[in-house]
Amino acid sequence: MTWSIADVARMSGVTSRTLRHYDEIGLLPPARIGSNGHRQYDEPGLLRLQQILLMRELGLGLREIQAVLDSQVDRLAALREHHHRLLTERDRLETLARTVSRTIAELERGKEDGMAEINRPENLFEGFEAGQHDAEARERWPEQWERSQQAIAGMTTEGMEQWQRDVTAQMIRMAEFMTAGTPVTDPAVQAEVDSLYQGVCRFWTPCAEAYKGLARTYVDDPRFRANFDRIADGLAVYQRDAMVVYADTRLD
């Protein structure tokens, strides 16, 4: 039995365009191509697609996924490993859920008390993986990504907590600019974005395109967007727009 590319797209949620791209790079060739040029996929192809999606969820790049699939690793052993990593990710997401729940509770208490403070700002980031901004960075700038991982691994617990406090304070300052109606092009806002850029450079040095990619992640990734918007509704978009201006005017 085979399924058309439209069927596979409907079942998996992967767009036909992405499936065609996977075919073009040799990651997921169809079982056959009909006389009309339409791709047809069989059951092994669907299983391979499941593994691809699992490994994408775990943060692997397409080249790494292809290397794993082409290495002839035992499929059952590979699935057991994926299962283990998914359970680990589940535990991390549960921590994130507790983080967001705690933030909501503190902000609600703050409204009742006429205050807008977070008792422990570092708690905003419990469960997040510093430097894991986007799989795109890992695929497109592998050397810089590797350096960022080395920098993070070298941080002490105290250093990580201080970094979290600094990031939270920076988010609050950006929220103050936003609520005051300050344009993202304002020199004061751009000075704050420059401070953010210098902080990012502790881990890796993004070019203009990479910095804009990071900015988009703050809006496109639900985890990051929720974290920003807990500080102030719309902050993720404001931060992204300010970073795009900085990248266009200050970076190569």
Residues 65 and 159 in one domain: no
pLDDT tens string 25-72: 999 999 999 888 889 999 889 988 988 887 787 667 788 788 878 775
Q: How far is the CA of 145 from the CAs of 12, 138, 140, 185, 193, in angstroms?
A: 29, 6, 9, 29, 21
Domain that holds residue 174: 76-250
Residues 125 and 221 in one domain: yes
Reading the block at residue 100, the tokens are 């967001």
pLDDT tens string 83-108: 777 777 677 667 666 666 666 676 66
Residues 56 and 106 in one domain: no
| 150, pLDDT greater than 70 | no
Residues 64 and 112 in one domain: no
2-16, 153-167, 212-226, 235-249: least confident range:
153-167
Reading the block at residue 237, the tokens are 């978009």
Residues 66 and 89 in one domain: no
Does an H or E element contain 3, and which?
strand 3-4
Which band of pLDDT confidence, cut at 50, 70 and 90, is reported for residue 182?
Answer: very high
Could you tell me if 215 and 134 are in contact, meaning their C-beta atoms sit under 8 angstroms apart?
A: no
| 2, pLDDT greater than 80 | yes
**Chosen domain end from 22, 46, 70:** 70
Q: Is the pTM of this model over 0.85?
A: no
Residues 103 and 173 in one domain: yes
Residues 85 and 62 in one domain: no
Residues 58 and 111 in one domain: no
How many structural domains are present in the chain?
A: 2
Residues 99 and 61 in one domain: no
The 10 Å Cβ neighbour count of residue 190 is 19
Residues 66 and 93 in one domain: no
pLDDT tens string 107-124: 666 655 544 444 444 444
